[in-house]
Structure 1
Amino acid sequence: MQKHSVPDDESGRVKRQHRHRGWRFVVGALVTAALLTVVLRATVIDFHYIGSGSMENTLLPGDGIAVNRLAYANSGIQRGDVVIFDGRGSFLPYERSDALDGLLWALRLRGNDSVYVKRVIAVGGDTVDCCSADGKVRVNGKPIDEPYLYPGNAPSETPFAAVVPQGRIWVMGDHRAESADSRSLLGAPGGGMINTERVIGKVERIIWPLDRAASLEPGVR
């Protein structure tokens, strides 16, 4: 039987075509994975790094956290939840952002300095004040236990009292001595109380570093 050989130039062309197909597959897979990650972070699970000590020792600077963006799709925000929120209009004044900055944030290609993490102490309709006779924060007249407080911190060194409007939440950091929160902004527009529409999601788990990986314990209800 006569054997037919492939010319050297044709053999080289076939190999190059295979290599090109291989690279196209790899690039396509990477692009698809990146797009899926963007969609996932924008709609289901988001990831953030903690940049301050205001939530110590629950969350430490450098901790990587997973945020459930669908946590409140079918239920309301609960007292004790740790949430991520956009602080514009409460912690920060409303401001127009550059369209490119907004797009890059939406795609999670740039950080956002207006994003905060705090614990929900009171929700719409609640009365919150400090302090009770034994020095505790009270919600609807009832002193609350706060085992998550930073060691040695008082529930609040500053007395306060407020009625939380519907559609708003009162938030505080666990490291009270280092946290600028709803207490600090009672006289500001919005009263330091966060519009629930600005809540991005619920912090559900520490994912980094690995030796601290754990689900967050429920806070006071």
Structure 2
Amino acid sequence: MTDTPTKTDPKPAHRSGFGAAAREFVLIVVGALIVSSILRAFVGQMFIIPSESMENTLLVGDRVVVEKLTDVKRGDVVVFEDPGGWLGPEESGQKRGSVGRFFEIVGLLPDSSHGHLIKRLIGMPGDKVACCDSKGRLLVNGQPLDETKYLYPGDAPSQMEFQVTVPAGRIFVMGDHRSASGDSRVHLQDLDANGGNQGDAAFVPLDKVTGRAIAIVWPAGRWSKLGVPDTFKAVPAPGPAPDKPSISLTPPPK
């Protein structure tokens, strides 16, 4: 009696090879999404410019990279969440569907959320911001700013007069296209719905700041770095930041 070898039916090599390649592809994609999500949450993120308020520094449709690791400073272009009442309901919704929003969350598409705004940081906690001096210039801690390099052509530094002291933990922001920007100035007389001080809504909490815009990356012909204009380097250090803002809708002494 002789033993008859047991026949086996091995899977075709091409099938097992395809399965391994598919698993490897899935792992690569999942890993890339995880890394992208981490980078978006802690390092940087892309945003689409939705309005004219930062012209001509930023144009509608520009894609900007926002860096989250560095503390913001006076003169930065910053992205922040709506601190409350700056945007209407139609502006706070999402433009993309669920699939597009997923790719925004993992960082593969620019954020199209209208729940964010982008402006220039003019005043840090403790800063005194006023407009305007006898030459029509914006003042920060008594230092006039030369805004000709970024202010929208033909715009005045402000269409309204004011003097404010920025409270602790907040910032004062303005758009570069001053006549088309609903910024801190617009909310200086707002009443706080939560029982805070009148005008609190004008000052953006630092914990609402997403980060600073560091570059325009699209369209290709618009690629450029974004930095702090030299005029801010001459601004003196702020005094102690008060717990609540000081607001006057009058011009500074001239």
Range of TM-score over shorter length:
0.7 to 0.9
With the length of structure 2 as denominator, give the TM-score of the two structures.
0.73
Equivalent residue of 2:12, what SS?
helix
Aligned pair partner of 2:81 in 65, 83, 86: 86
- Asked if 1 retains the 8 angstrom alpha-carbon contact of 2:47 and 2:112, the reply is no
Unaligned runs of 5+ in 2: 1-6, 89-97, 193-199, 233-254
- Per-residue CA deviations over 1:129-175 (Å, capped at 9, x if unaligned) read 11111111111222211120011111111112211112111100000
Q: Distance in 2 between matches of 1:88 and 1:126?
A: 20
Q: Distance in 1 between matches of 2:87 and 2:178?
A: 19
Aligned pair partner of 2:182 in 162, 180, 189: 180
- Asked if 2 retains the 8 angstrom alpha-carbon contact of 1:90 and 1:193, the reply is no
Equivalent residue of 1:128, what SS?
strand
State the shift of 1:106 in Å: 5.9
Question: Which deviates the most, 184-193 or 110-119?
Answer: 110-119
State the shift of 1:48 in Å: 0.8
State the shift of 1:92 in Å: 5.3
Does the C-alpha gap of structure 1 residues 106 and 20 become closer, same or farther in structure 2, counting only changes over 3 Å?
Answer: closer
State the shift of 1:81 in Å: 0.7
Q: Distance in 2 between matches of 1:191 and 1:134?
A: 29
Aligned pair partner of 1:199 in 204, 209, 223: 209
Does the C-alpha gap of structure 1 residues 61 and 122 become closer, same or farther in structure 2, counting only changes over 3 Å?
Answer: same
Q: Distance in 1 between matches of 2:209 and 2:224?
A: 22
Structure 2 residue 59 is the aligned partner of structure 1 residue 49 = no
Structure 2 residue 133 is the aligned partner of structure 1 residue 132 = yes
Q: Distance in 1 between matches of 2:160 and 2:85?
A: 19
State the shift of 1:60 in Å: 0.8
- Residue number in structure 1 paired with 2:30: 31
Structure 2 residue 212 is the aligned partner of structure 1 residue 212 = no
State the shift of 1:217 in Å: 3.3
Question: Which deviates the most, 139-148 or 150-159?
Answer: 139-148
Aligned residues: 203
What value does the CA root-mean-square deviation take over the aligned residues?
2.6
Give me the identity figure in percent: 39
